[in-house]
Structure 1
């Protein structure tokens, strides 16, 4: 099972729009895909789901993570890295079984001109530590506001071509 993680808790984010775009592209290829936005993490996750504790609300998320064999992380740039809420998700999940020897595809987005290059590098280090195998083709989408139309579809030809290549490689990964 493939799960796309929209790695921010910001409501109505461009991150979620890109996650939905990836989901639509995968559906066109006949794949059944879940999208999980971190805006749906329990508000009190730091108090209820860290250090071996487990709430009923987070257990549903843990079950989704456990059942997933491949992840696509859509990661916005936050202060030159990835959002802290993504690290909270990783830390709250069971270790090592949640991600161990599973596969990941990373997509960085930013409103600036580098597409979250540093954040994707930082998160790759986290992935390596938890034994989450990362597809070598990592995409960086800069100036995200110029990349999406009003319906949330990517519109720049080169970005569409790169995302299609990444998706195809990820399905074979």
Structure 2
């Protein structure tokens, strides 16, 4: 099973739009994928689910992570890195068995011109620490507002081509 993490807790985010695009493209290729937006993390996760404690609400998320064989992380740029809420998800998940020896593709997005290069690099280090194998082709989508039409669909041909290439490599990974 593939789980796509929309790595922000911002409602109706461009991150979620990109995550749903990945889901639809995987479905076209005959693969099922679940999208999980971090806006659905329990509001009190820092107090209820850290350091071995487990709430019922987070246990459902933990089960989703356990059952995933592969992950696609779509990460917006927050202050030159990835969102802290993504680190909370990683820290609240059981270590080491949540991510150990599983596979991931990383996608950075930003409103600026670099597509969250630093955030993807920072998160790659976290992935290596938890033994999550990262697909070498990491995408960076800059100027995300110019990449989406009014309905929130990706429209730039070169971006769509790069995404397709990444998905094809990820399927084989």
Task: Please tell me whether the aligned partners of residues 21 and 152 of structure 1 are also in contact (alpha carbons under 8 angstroms).
Answer: no
Which residue is 1:91 aligned to?
A: 91
Structure 1: segments with no counterpart, 5+ residues: none
Offset from partner CA, 1:85-126 (integer Å, 9 cap, x none): 000000000000000000000000000000000000000000
Normalization by structure 2: what TM-score? Answer: 0.99
The Cα shift of 1:152 comes to 2.1
**SS of match in other structure, 1:72:** strand
How far did 1:65 drift? 0.2
1:116 maps onto 2:152 in alignment: no
Paired with 1:79 and 1:171, the residues of 2 have a C-alpha distance of 31
1:165 aligns with 2:165: yes
Give the corresponding residue for 2:42.
42
Structure-1 separation of matches of 2:28 and 2:75: 23
Which stretches of structure 1, 4 residues or more, deviate above 6 A after TM superposition?
none
Would you say the 8 A contact 1:7–1:76 is kept in 2?
Answer: yes
Q: What's the offset of the Cα at 1:153?
A: 1.6
**Cα distance in structure 2, aligned partners of 1:27 and 1:148:** 20
In 2, the alpha carbon distance for the partners of 1:28 and 1:151 equals 20
**Cα deviation digits, residues 27-72 of structure 1 (max 9, x gap):** 1001111000000000000000000000000000000000000000
Provide the aligned C-alpha RMSD in A: 0.4
| Unmatched segments (≥5 aa) in structure 2 | none
Q: Is the 8 A contact 1:81 1:116 kept in 2?
A: yes
Aligned to 2:12: 12
1:149 deviates by 1.2
- Distance in 2 (CA, whole Å) between partners of 1:161 and 1:42 is 36
1:33 corresponds to = 33
